[in-house]
Structure 1
Amino acid sequence: MNIFVFGSLAFDRIMAFPGKFEDHLIPEKLHMINVCFVGSDLTERFGGTAGNIGYTLALLGEKPVLVSSAGRDDFGRYDEHLKKLGLDDDGIRIVTESLTANCHITTDLAANQITCFNPGAMGYPCEYDFASADPEKDIAIVAPGNHADTIELPRKFREMGMKYIFDPGQNITALPGEKLLEALTGSWMFISNDYELEMVMRATDMNLEQLLERTQYVVTTLGEKGCVIHSAEGECRVPALEGVKVVDPTGAGDSFRAGLLKGLSLGCELEVAARIGACCASYCIEKTGTQEHVFTEEAFWEHYTKNFGPVSFR
């Protein structure tokens, strides 16, 4: 079974500002801001939805096909990182005209953030043909990435008859309601956090029951409260793990999705797959960054058993 992971690949560059932004802003001059904040402790980390999901899947022993776009001049370091994980770049389009997507984040002492995001190569569609896919066995996830692909790939998967998970995330505000509804319709599962679910319902003018007429499952992550799975048969709740020290919640959603996909690839019931996702998320939030957590497969399943009991397969 192949797992196709569409989404973004990006460099996250993070700095700290040793002060407060508000101390350097002049209220009566906000219409013409011209200020420089000198940051410190610059770090660069690998990120992006496809990279984050693929990273945790690799820790779980999977070799997903990453479907994305990256820049020619700067992707080499990221590519090397992926290959160390056992992941190849066959599904990644190298764009000669642009750099890999990058996000610059500066945080002040009051936890305020100024973020500048350059989509770069993410502005180009992936152009992957999925010739190697087996629609009867394989599964795909459409996570936030190139906007056109977010719409076109669900169409392609429907035509192929392949199961796909629709996960629009950060793309929700960039896509009109009718396009979101089109991409969601025919999906096997729609996944989001609770705020994003509300945004999608407002954008599409649909309630939860109406969405479930267009997709089999609606999986909603609830942070420290775990997640809830809705289907025509009702709802099922999966708790988050207790006693976890939260250092940085960034990337927890992508780790959850990786665990969910791992469970589905093993033939687990959706509730069990969501529990695997919860375990993955617990590792991620204990580290700063989206691809900094590390575990062995043996340690992971021990972790799962400790929290949920022995894993069950179909």
Structure 2
Amino acid sequence: MRIAVTGSIATDHLMTFPGRFTDHLVPGELANVSLSFLADALEVRRGGAAANIAYGLGQLGLAPILVGAVGPDFADYQVHLKEHGVDTDSVHVSHTAQTARFVCTTDLAQNQIATFYAGAMAEARTLSLAPVADRTGGLDLVLVSPNDPEAMVRHTEECRELGVPFAADPSQQLARLEPAAVRDLVAGAQRLFTNAYEAALVQERTGWTHRQILDRVGSWVTTLGADGVRIERAGEPAVTIPAAPVREEADPTGVGDAFRAGFLAALAHGLPEPAAARLGCVLAGLALEAPGPQEYVLDRTAVTARLTEGYGEPAAAVLAPFLEAAL
């Protein structure tokens, strides 16, 4: 199954300041702030929703096609993704802008000062899916994940024109997208991905009721954090899958992306949605235990053990043939 993952590709630059920002704010002078903080640690992590999802799909043997825009600083990141099974030949490299970047400094009180630089991501609106389909021999599914808003709308409309099924994952861009654009992204999606907060926001932005949204999508998959995931289809009872066991929480960044990778990979191999959700939850748990969204490594024995611990041997057995082939 050929899955194209469209969306953001970025790097995160995370620093820590061994003090408190508030100690350096002068009352009465907040209209003229000029501050510099000496950080004592820096972590550079690979990220971006589309790249995170593609990373997980690649580890599960899907050879996903990553579609997005980056800068000329992408070379090392590209090697990393290729080494993990991601097709990066449809990634556009800008000649004028750097890869999107999130720069954040956190103090001892967990206060943060952050800046997001969209950079090359703005050029994603110029990308067409037709050449991607021609190069790869056709697409079976396109996942439209957070990206430049115009790019998200364009990719969705092009899927309709090409007759390619698509999954909608608007996530953090919901607040920025116009109501008409959100309706365009959702209507006709084979699957809609949200978290619990985004589920309410989709209703608010579209003006549609919960039932009206279900009538317009194949299934609605809502991640619920520690409570697992809920899968809904029009006219059918909702199915809730508990979260997988987690040993230690390290970093929540990219946990939802890891879930999507596991879920879509299992579906691509013909497994039912509940089984796919269980695998997605296991990947989400492994990502939560890792220090970054692309730091977890999949091992068949470890994944099977988590499935067995969280859902029992029969549930693990359903996924065993796929895991044996993929890992």
| Both proteins in one fold, TM over 0.5 | yes
Give 1:70 shift: 0.7
3-state secondary structure, aligned to 1:34: coil
Which 4+ runs in 1 deviate beyond 6 A?
none
2:239 aligned residue (223, 236, 240): 236
Is there any run of 5+ residues in structure 1 with no aligned partner, and where? none
Give 1:243 shift: 4.5
Task: Tell me the TM-score normalised to structure 2 length.
Answer: 0.90
Match of 1:10 in 2: 10
Match of 2:177 in 1: 175
- Equivalents in 1 of 2:163, 2:301: separation in Å? 35
Q: Deviations over 1:155-180 (max 9, x none)?
A: 11122222211001121111101110
Match of 2:20 in 1: 20
Q: Which has the higher helix share?
A: 2
Give 1:134 shift: 3.5
For 1:102, give the aligned amino acid.
R
3-state secondary structure, aligned to 2:11: strand
- Equivalents in 1 of 2:54, 2:272: separation in Å? 21
Match of 1:66 in 2: 66
3-state secondary structure, aligned to 1:228: strand
Match of 2:121 in 1: 122
Match of 2:285 in 1: 282
Aligned-pair identity (%): 36
Is there any run of 5+ residues in structure 2 with no aligned partner, and where? 323-327
3-state secondary structure, aligned to 1:145: coil
Q: Deviations over 1:227-254 (max 9, x none)?
A: 1111111200011013532121111000
For 1:91, give the aligned amino acid.
S
For 2:269, give the aligned amino acid.
L
Aligned-residue CA RMSD (Å): 1.7
Match of 2:48 in 1: 48
3-state secondary structure, aligned to 1:30: coil
- Equivalents in 2 of 1:182, 1:149: separation in Å? 12
For 1:13, give the aligned amino acid.
H
Deviates more, 1:12-21 or 1:80-89: 80-89
Match of 1:193 in 2: 195
Q: Deviations over 1:260-284 (max 9, x none)?
A: 1111111111111111100100100
Asked whether the equivalents of residues 247 and 288 of structure 1 are also in contact (C-alpha less than 8 Å), the reply is: yes
For 1:148, give the aligned amino acid.
E
Asked whether the equivalents of residues 61 and 297 of structure 1 are also in contact (C-alpha less than 8 Å), the reply is: no
Asked whether the equivalents of residues 225 and 239 of structure 1 are also in contact (C-alpha less than 8 Å), the reply is: yes
Q: Deviations over 1:184-242 (max 9, x none)?
A: 10111111111111112111122211111211211111111111111111200011013
- Equivalents in 1 of 2:53, 2:23: separation in Å? 39
Task: Tell me the TM-score normalised to structure 1 length.
Answer: 0.94
Deviates more, 1:1-10 or 1:77-86: 77-86
Call closer, same or farther: CA 1:174–1:237 in 2, change over 3 Å: same
For these two proteins, the number of residue pairs brought into alignment is 311
Q: For 1:129-140, what aligned pairs fall within 5 Å after superposition?
A: 129=130, 130-131=133-134, 132=136, 134=138, 138-140=140-142
